[in-house]
Chains A and B, each alone.
Chain A
């Protein structure tokens, strides 16, 4: 398939997954507020810090309150990672490949984008944020479901899945990291009751609370981190995302699992191997935040490698073409 098309479908899915995960970040706090109304106002800063974009936020509006953060992360057209901007980018990519994706996917994405741009969406997000961000997540799921059920699972689909999985792995690591930023001011609170509630909020934001409970009965930081990083079966764990992305990548290239020919396969394979041969104790020893930080850079590098391997193809003769 055309490199440009592969690039667009990959980014379309990354952006949709990103939009969904911004909604999940915000939900961490909304979940916390349900359990501990007294915490209101304290945790909006960590949410913005998790995104890594607090500088941009502070330049605009130094007040960390619910409305300002929701407006910034959801509706700010000047902030490239806001939900509206992610959806606009996803739609733009989708529009350039609408003959490749199914019309169900396109119509849903188009509608998702159009509805988010209405006044009604803004007032709903401010007045009833729980429902609003739930809807954002459900629309993203609906898109994923449509992609799964209405589009052939060929090369394009595999690129789409890689985009989605890489983005999800990155964002799960950041959701887990929210907790690190929350604890920053008061390290002494580790294992206090508030600690538990915060970890529960983290799990819920990754839709992982119930699945976690089936595996583990009590919530400890190590177990939560282990679940979100290493669990084999939970579809938002980093390990799961990396494994799935790798399967799709090998389907595209035809390289047997276990072998690696191009840079993308090598880098992704290395992350997978590292995850398989690391355990949570080692992670804690390194420091959870440091580990996650490193993971995020490595996921980025895979993204770069996918770009050079598939999207920036140049003919060999181009360099000499003008001299002939």
Chain B
């Protein structure tokens, strides 16, 4: 039976229950509500919510499967609650971090002061796969590079939040935040009202403001588009959802063409100029004339128009360098360099394999560490040492020796847990938190974000492509 009476937080930080087994103050109301439900009701509501998501077609495609293999993003009804105290620190920390990373991007593509001052090793930046030589000497509209960021946070056993990873290219998942919230509002309306949960649904409006802000000066009412790779992309639902919520066009590369120095959409009435693109296609694919020539997803000549200032793009090409997992280790120093402040949100301690001492430590402690490749995402290219076999560790040891620049390692963090519906009962499952940050006139952090949950017992991998699910996140 789904109840908290027998719930055991074990030896982890639990987001809803304190170490004495009592609900945390901000979770009390919710837990009382769940305990007051008739037997089986919670599980029933969970099933209803899942059926609803499938019916609404809120699904993602799994790469490497047959076309049409759509799944709903598994979703758990019990929300994660973040207290206002914790949130204040997160919000301030993220604003500081994004502000500094944006200055970093502007600097390394222009004056390279931080490299000359040897705060970040120059060869590390220039050797990164995501460093775009094509962007050198370029300043994007309003000086903003990373308009949309999703930063992954985790909470360790000590109750502190750490930044695990920055995503400054095309972070996805915000549509699930908005949809999960709709479902939760219907499921726990009274608790919701009583707790004064902070709203998340301003996001599409805020994103629209950012995109409008970027439009070239000569444009009165900019034409904005969301550029998607198409319906087989795993995040297609989100692209479609955001364009619908913002009331802007959803375009594919095949809908766009460069003509007379501008980017145009092909419409039933001829060509129509586009002024701003929120592109959800990686740098590599946006323009076959500049980046990968075999790309079928992008627009030929887009970069030239962009550099001439005749179209704006969010995010700017070249931001990937700032979420390189090895550059990550330097972010606290980057923050200090540009703002003079200490990082409000700490990094997870990181061993950089290109440094001899770190590498030796990593190689001799592979069974304790999490190893990550610099530029993989979605939980790929990763080794979780304590859960891996000897053979898997040996493979990684070889990779690290072959390409030390491309790897970093971190201690295995005991991710915090949230009570989660498992079968007919409630058990603790590990979570992370991805808040979304928008950078336009000012920096906005959506209160809450996506709580990703590893649904497999004991698992620390929260990625949707690897059996992760999501939860609504309540900032109260």
Contacts and interface: CB of A to CB of B under 8 A. Distances in A.
Interface of A: 1-4, 6, 88, 92, 95-96, 98-99, 103, 106-107, 110-111, 114, 155, 159, 252, 310-311, 313-318, 321
A95 B267 contact: no
B266 interface: yes
Contact of A317 (B231, B241, B244, B260): B260
B230 interface: yes
Contacts, number: 70
Contacts of A155: 268
The B interface is mostly helix, strand or loop, or mixed, namely mixed
B240 interface: yes
Interface string B318-360: 0000000000000000000000000000000000000000000
A150 to B, nearest CB: 14
Nearest to B258: A321
B231 A4 contact: no
A311 B254 CA distance: 12
Nearest to B246: A99
A99 B55 contact: no
A233 to B, nearest CB: 31
A1 B267 contact: yes
A3 B259 contact: no
A2 B266 contact: yes
A201 B264 CA distance: 52
Contact of B249 (A2, A110, A314): A2
Contacts of B260: 317
A310 B57 CA distance: 29
In which size bucket is the chain B interface? Answer: 20 to 34
> Which residue, A98, A114, A252, has most C-beta atoms of chain B within 10 A?
A98
A316 B257 CA distance: 11
Given A107-B57, A110-B55, A1 B268 contact: yes
B230 A96 contact: yes
Nearest to B52: A107
Nearest to B252: A4
A2 B255 contact: yes
Contact of B267 (A2, A88, A99, A316): A2
B57 A106 contact: yes
B277 to A, nearest CB: 14
Given A110-B55, A314-B266, 19 more contacts: A2-B249, A2-B251, A2-B265, A3-B267, A4-B254, A4-B255, A88-B68, A92-B231, A95-B236, A99-B243, A99-B244, A106-B57, A107-B56, A110-B56, A110-B57, A155-B268, A315-B266, A315-B271, A321-B301
Question: Which residue, of A310, A311, A315, has the highest number of chain B Cβ atoms within 10 A?
Answer: A315
A314 B271 CA distance: 8
B271 A99 contact: no
Contacts of B243: 99
Q: Give me the 4 closest cross-chain CB pairs, A-B, nearest first.
A: A99-B244, A315-B259, A110-B57, A310-B268
A277 to B, nearest CB: 31
Nearest to A95: B231
Contact of A98 (B54, B57, B265, B267): B57
Interface string B227-242: 0001100001000110
Contacts of B458: none
A212 B10 CA distance: 75
Looking at B249, B264, B266, the one whose CB has the most chain A CB atoms below 10 A away is B266
B240 A98 contact: yes
A95 B228 CA distance: 13
A318 B260 CA distance: 10
A92 B68 CA distance: 9
Contacts of A111: 55
B185 to A, nearest CB: 17
Nearest to B67: A92
A114 B255 contact: no
A69 B193 CA distance: 57
Contacts of A311: 268
Contact of B255 (A3, A159, A310, A317): A3
Contacts of A316: 259
Given A2-B251, A92-B231, A114-B55, A315 B267 contact: no
B266 A313 contact: yes
A2 B243 CA distance: 14
Contact of B250 (A99, A106, A252): A99
B270 interface: yes
Given A2-B267, A6-B268, A99-B250, A317 B55 contact: no
Contacts of B230: 96
11 contacts: A1-B267, A2-B255, A2-B267, A4-B255, A6-B268, A96-B230, A110-B56, A114-B55, A155-B268, A318-B259, A321-B259
A159 B265 CA distance: 18
A228 B54 CA distance: 40
B299 to A, nearest CB: 12
Contacts of B255: 2-4
B336 to A, nearest CB: 43
A159 B267 CA distance: 13
Contacts of A159: 268
A316 B266 CA distance: 12
Given A4-B252, A99-B243, A99-B244, A317 B266 contact: no
A290 B54 CA distance: 47
A317 B249 contact: no
Contacts of A2: 249, 251, 255, 265-268
Interface in B54-105: 54-57, 68
A76 to B, nearest CB: 17
A235 to B, nearest CB: 26
A315 B268 contact: no
A321 B259 CA distance: 8
B240 A313 contact: no
A307 to B, nearest CB: 11
Nearest to B228: A96
Contacts of B55: 107, 110-111, 114
- Most A CB atoms within 10 A — which of B258, B267, B270? B267
Contacts of B240: 95, 98-99
